[in-house]
Amino acid sequence: MIKNKTLEIVDIDVKLLIDKLTTAFADEWMAAYQYWLGAKLARGPLRSEIAAELMVHYEEEISHATLLADRILQLGGDLRMFPHDWKRFGSCDYDAITNVQMLSVLQENLKGEQCAIAFYNDLLKMVQGKDFATQAIIMKILSDEIEHEQDIIQFLEDISA
């Protein structure tokens, strides 16, 4: 049996950790899709400017999914999942876009970001000091989600001014 130091240094229930990271992984795909669709469909004030920023967020959510996927694999988890499983595995309630008005699209994005911030903040408390590799990944993702929230709040303020 080959020694696996990666797992040996994790001072936390690895199965529970993989479950949490899998939840986040599903949420990231839904967030990415929500941004991508919003960038294509949203109509209203500052459309070009906001759509460009939503595409930046889309790419960052995909990069979060990649960070989480790599960590899940390092921990011995399984990534096999279909898009129809995202909602079941995820923890944030990503709604389909029914209203393409900019205000509504941004409000849905804000809801998603605030759910993500709460989730990652809790996860960070769970892993801090117990799994430094996961901690570093979650800190990076959390700071991105905070930036996303602030971008959306600024756009909401701009279009409501």
Shortest Å distance, C-beta 55 to Fe ion:
13
Q: Does 20 bind Fe ion (CB under 5 A)?
A: no
Query: What is the footprint of Fe ion within residues 112-131 (CB under 5 A)?
Result: none
Taking the C-alpha atoms of residue 47 and residue 60, their distance in angstroms, rounded to an integer, is 20
- Classified as helix, coil or strand, 77 is coil
x/- map, 57-76, Fe ion, by CB under 5 A: ----x--x------------
- Look at the block and give the residue holding tokens 């400017």: 49
Q: Which residues touch 68 (CB under 8 Å, ≥6 apart)?
A: 21, 24, 25, 28, 137, 141
Greatest Cα pair distance, the chain, in angstroms, is 64
Rounded Cα distance between 131 and 126, Å, is: 9
**Is residue 145 at the binding interface for Fe ion, with CB under 5 A as the rule?**
yes
Contact 30, 92 (CB under 8 A): yes
- Nearest distance in Å: CB 98, Fe ion: 21
C-beta separation of 57 from 42 below 8 A: no
Q: Residue 148 interacts with Fe ion (CB under 5 A)?
A: yes
Which residues have C-beta within 8 Å of that of residue 150, sequence separation ≥ 6?
none
Choices 27-35, 67-75, 124-132, 150-158; region in contact with Fe ion by CB under 5 A? 27-35
Least distance CB 61 / Fe ion (angstroms): 4
Only segment of 38-46, 69-77, 129-137, 146-154 that touches Fe ion (CB under 5 A): 146-154
CB of 113 to Fe ion, least distance (A): 5
For residue 66, the minimal CB distance to Fe ion (Å) is 11
Residues that bind Fe ion (CB under 5 A): 28, 61, 64, 145, 148
